Amino acid sequence: MVFGVGFIDAAADLLVQGACPGCARPGSGVCAGCARWIGAGVIGERFRAVLDMPLWSAGEYADPLTRIISQAKDHHRHDALPLLAQRLALAVAGLADALGLAGPGLLVPVPSAPAAVRERGLDFTSTLANTAARHLARAGLTTRAEPALRQLRAVQDPGGLVAAERQRNLTGSLGAVRPRSARWLVVVDDVVTTGASLQESVRALTAVGIPPVGLATVAATTLRTGGNQQNLALLLPNWGSSG
């Protein structure tokens, strides 16, 4: 019997479900050690030269978080999504606290490519945003997620592109539709590298008259931070539950 590449990939994905997506230690879901490492990440403001508004992230884009995000996005490790969404919610909460925001607010995810959505079986960033909104509601900050951004054209894989090339690759690639009313809007994503995707998201939303007040991500590829840093995970211990 001959099996196709898709079948082999699916079988391989199934086999790793009994191991931690961060360290491959046998078990179900993210292991306690990886969860502690991720939970110790500094929640604070990051800086990108192309962005002119506050950007908050929940930690450094480094292993095991790098592997966990990769496994969740591209290897169907959906059991890691609650932990990642929790970190995104903490980044939004830090931003909201720094800006003095009160609900209702809107979380707008950077859209995934349609081909990626079909391959993954879900829109990864939208799923994170929806789950993060539930975490925030339990903490007393009313938000909802809404996919107000959409891709207008295909873009090149950003791997290997330098900052200027990423910016040219993404400029004009997104469009926006006006969402239902909210007091404020935050663009959210899983990882910020150069900031080009967030910059394009801000441009598209501003073009239709709904500029964001800030940006939030699960992780950032650098750790140069501003003065605002908070261990919100200690202040909000009940956020460890999934949802």
Which tens digits make up the pLDDT trace of 20-53?
A: 999 999 998 999 999 999 999 999 999 999 999 9
In a domain, 11, yes or no: no
Confidence of residue 10 (pLDDT cuts 50, 70, 90): very low
Q: Residues 87, 40: contact at Cβ < 8 Å?
A: no
What distance in Å separates the CA atoms of residue 117 and residue 230, rounded to the nearest whole number?
33
Tokens of 195: 């900031």
The mean per-residue pLDDT over the stretch 56-78 comes to 95
The pLDDT assigned to 34 comes to 96
Confidence of residue 17 (pLDDT cuts 50, 70, 90): low
The pLDDT assigned to 181 comes to 81
Give pLDDT tens digits for 33-42.
Answer: 999 999 999 9
What distance in Å separates the CA atoms of residue 236 and residue 163, rounded to the nearest whole number?
36
CATH of the domain at 120: 3.40.50
Q: Residues 243, 131: contact at Cβ < 8 Å?
A: yes
Domains: count for the chain: 1
In a domain, 142, yes or no: yes
Omega before 21 cis (within 30°)?
A: no
In a domain, 7, yes or no: no
Supply the range of the domain harboring residue 119: 42-240
The pLDDT assigned to 79 comes to 94
In a domain, 27, yes or no: no
In a domain, 55, yes or no: yes
In a domain, 16, yes or no: no
In a domain, 143, yes or no: yes
Sheet containing 43-46, strands listed edge to edge, beginning at the edge strand earlier in sequence = 143-145, 105-109, 184-192, 214-220, 55-57, 43-46, 225-230
